[in-house]
Every structure is written in structure tokens, then in C-alpha cells.
Amino acid sequence: MSTELNKTEGGSALHTLPHVDGLTVGIVCAEWNDQITGALLQGALDLFEKEGYEDITVAHVPGTVELTYGAAQMARSGRYDAVIMIGCVIRGGTPHFDYVCDNVTQGCAYLNATQQVPVIFCVLTCDDLQQALDRAGGALCNKGTEAAEAAIKMAHFARRVQE
């Protein structure tokens, strides 16, 4: 979802966020490209604070490939209503970019299909550093904020389905 495309002329989001009583969220954040992942994490934390949610757990893993393991452990713990995976992969001169992106994307999809809590994909896959900066609180948006919004909406969705 593009933040810029999802706004009305007045600047408010098209859809308001539901309130989820007692919301607990686990965030697993990659240390690699920490200038970007730190900004994404801060965007998510700022949104949770703004919305009044305090039960947010943050765990760090070395890189983007390790996000799937971290998210799986959080999802399987039964402690969270949603889990967010935060990472950033910037294209280099080798096929490594493709392997990492495929790995984490498939891992997130697998977790969403097999676990009882939503796992939110907040992994930037960019051609260069500027693209990442633009999406981590720069000119375009903060995808971490969008991931927090998605976590709230999906936790709300999951509770409604289970009722």
C-alpha cells in the first residue's frame, strides 16, 4: 500500500484504525542496514504509542534472512496478536539480493498460512539507498508506520473471525 495514494485531500487515512483491547505485538527487526530498519522500527513504535498501545516487544536478529525464524518464534509463543518483520535489502552487484528477498518473502507467506497470528511484511527491497531512505521516513512515507497500521487491522480482523 502506498501511503501517498492512500490519503484523502484532507490528509487523513481513508480508513480509520479499529481499537483492539489488550493488543500485544511482537516486532522482529533486522540489524543489517540498521539506518533504515531503525527508522522503520521507530515509525512503527510511534504509531503504536499514538494509538495508545504499550505491550510491544522488540527483538533483533542479525539480518533479513533471520527474520523468518524470529517471527516464527514470536508467532508460536502465543503471546502476540500480531508479529511484524522489519528488514531492508538493497540490491548489490550479485544475485544475493534475489535469494534474500525470495527467502524472506516465502518465509512470511508460510508463516501467514500456518500460524494463528498475522505476520506483517515490512521488508524494503530497494535498488539503492535513496529508495530505502525515501520509504523509511523520507520523501515518500514510513513503511514501519504502515506495518503498525496493518498489524492493528489484522489483529482486529483475527479477533472478529475467532468470535
What are the residues whose beta carbons fall under 8 Å from the beta carbon of 122, sequence distance 6 or more?
Answer: 40, 44, 84, 85, 86, 87, 143, 144, 146, 147
Give the pairing of strands 24-30 and 55-61: parallel
Q: Which of 15, 19, 60, 96 is catalytic?
A: 96
Q: At what angle do helices 67-77 and 96-114 cross, to 10 degrees?
A: 10
Residue 19 annotated as catalytic:
no
Q: Which residues are catalytic?
A: 96
